[in-house]
Structure 1
Amino acid sequence: MNNFTLLTPSSSTSSSTLVTFFNNPLKFNQLNPNFFATKALNPWNQTKRSIKRVTQVNSLNKSIENPTLSSNWEISGTTSAPWLPKFEELDTTNMLLRQRIIFLGSQIDDTTADFVISQLLLLDAEDSKKDIKIFINSPGGSVTAGMGIYDAMKQCKADISTICMGLAASMGAFLLASGTKGKRYCMPNSRVMIHQPLGTAGGKATDMSIRIREMAYHKVKLNKILSRITGKPEQQVELDTDRDNFMNPWEAKEYGLVDAVIDDGKPGLVAPIGDTAPPPKTKVWDQWKIEGSRKAKKNLPSEHKFLQNGYTGSQANDEKSTP
C-alpha cells in the first residue's frame, strides 16, 4: 500500500484523467515558454548565447578577409580604416636603417660596436654608391671597440657621412673625424672633446707595465691617425690631447675634425657666447697655466706658494713673519 495519494476524493479529476496524464506525459512545447527562460532552470541558455556571439565574430572576421559577408551581402563599396602600428610595435632602428641612417647614441662598447659594424656592412653591401649617415651623440668608450667601427668605416666602399648631435667626446670625436672628407658635420649647439686614452692598471708590477705599455701604444696610434686627419703635426696633437680639450662646432671645424656646421642662420638657434667671461682665477694658480705635461712640470708652483695656503702678497708675508 502506498504511503501517499495523488488526489483526494474531493478532487474533481476523474480516474481516467489520471491514467491519461501518466501514460501521455506532456511535451516541452506544450509548456509555458517562459518556464525555461531563466538561467537557473535552463543551463543551456547561456551556452547558446555564447555560441551565437562567437558565430557573429567569426562572420566579422570572414568579412574582413573575403569581399562578402556570411549572408552574401556585397561590401565592395565600403571602406575600412587604415591599419596603424602601435607605439610599442614601432622599430625606429629599422626605420632609420631604411633611410641609410645609423644612430650612435650610447657609450661605445663591444655590443654597440658589433651592432654598428653589422649595419655598416649591410648598407654597404646593399648599395655602395649611396652615402651612409652616422649620427653621433656619444661620450666615448672602449678604444678597441671604437677602432673596430673605424676599420669598418674604412672598409666600406660607400661614403660615410658623420653628423655630431649633442656630444662627441673621446672615441666619439675620433669617429666623427673619421668620416669621409667633405661630409663631416656638426650641429650648432653640439660639443666635441678630444683627449688621450684613459685607463687603469693594477696587480703585479709586470702586469701593470703590460697595461701601461698597451695604453701608450693606443695613445701613439690615435695621435698619428688624428694628425693625418687634421693635417696638424703629431707633436701638436699630443699637446692638444694631453688633457680634456672641449671645442664648439666652429673650433672643431678650424681644428680639422669636421668640415661644416649645420646652421641655417635662424636667430636663437645658436646659444650666444660672445658676452661670456672666463671663470675667475684663483689666488694660488693665477701664474700657472697648463699647456701640456712637460710645461706643467716646469711651471709647477714652488713650495713657498703651497705654504701660503692660498694667500699671496703682504698678507702671506705678515703671517710668515709672525712668531
Structure 2
Amino acid sequence: MHSAKKRKSVRAAHAGTGRGPASRSSHREDRPRARYRALLIAALAVAGLLGSVLVFLNGGTTGASSGAGDAMTRMEVRAPAGTPAGTGTPTRVPDGKPSVTPGGKPHAAPTPGVTKPGTGSAAAGTGRFITAAASGKPVGTGAIRRYKVQVEQGSGVPATTAADEISGILADPRGWTADGHDAFQLVSSGPYDFEIKIATPPTVDRICGAAGLHTHGEVNCDVGDQVIVNLKRWNTGSPEFPGPLHDYRALIINHEVGHRIGHGHEGCPGPGRPAPAMMQQIDGLHGCTANAWPYDSHGTYLGGPPVP
C-alpha cells in the first residue's frame, strides 16, 4: 500500500514539474521545430550576405548612379568626328573643350532642370514620330539647309505647332540667317539635311544612347542628321535660364543648329553683356546676362571668346 501510494505521488510530482515521460515525448517533438528555426535563421543570414555583395558590386547602391545628373552639368559628351548614329565609342569632353559639330557630329548638350507638374514631360511616348505637315519658303541667303520637324506620338506636342515655333526661331532676324550666308527651309517631304525631333526622355535616351551618348533622361543631343530635343526641356525649360519658355526653346534650337553650321562654344565677353547663344549657359553665366539669340536686333553678332 505504501509503495503504491509512493509510486502515485512520484507520477503526480513528475506531471506537475514537467519532468515525466510525457515531458520527454514533448521535447522530442520540439527538436524538428528547433532545427527548422535554425535553418530559417541561417537562410536569412545568407540572403543578407548576398544582398550586401550585390550592393558592393553595384558601387554601393542598388539604383541608378546619384551623380549622373551632376556629371552631365560638368561635362559634354560627343562621339568621334564622322561617327554615324548608332555606332562608335563616345568621347567625354570636359567643359572648356571645343565642340564644333559641322555636319551633325553627335553631342549631348547639358541642360538639366526640374520637371514641373502638369507639363506633359512625363508623357508616355510610343517611339514613333509624326512629321509636321508644314513647309515654308527659304529664309536667309546663301546655302539652304532643309529640315523637317517631328514629334513623338504620345508626347502631347502638336507637330504643326512645334514646326511653327521652330521655323519662327530659325527665321527670326536675330537668328543665324543674320550672318548673310546661311539659309533654312522647313519641309514636310522630299530631300532634307537634318531633322529636329521632340521626344520623350526614354526615347531620347534610346536614340542618343545608340550613338554612345548618355542623356540620363535630362538633356538634348545632336546625332547623325538629327537634333533630338528632350520633351522635358521643351516643356519646362531650365531653372538656370530666367525668362520666357519660348526664349529657352530658342536657345536650344540656336545652340544646336549653330553647332550644325560650324560654330563651337564661346565664353562670356564681359560682365553685363549678353551671353552668346554658343555659350554653355547652364554652366553659369560668369557675369553675362542670359540670352537666346546669336545676333541682336541691329544685326550685331553677340559672340564671345572661343573656348579653348
Q: Is this a same-fold pair by TM over 0.5?
A: no
Structure with a larger share of its residues in strand:
2
- Give the greater-gyration-radius structure (CA): 1
Q: TM tier, shorter chain?
A: under 0.3
Structure with a larger share of its residues in helix:
1
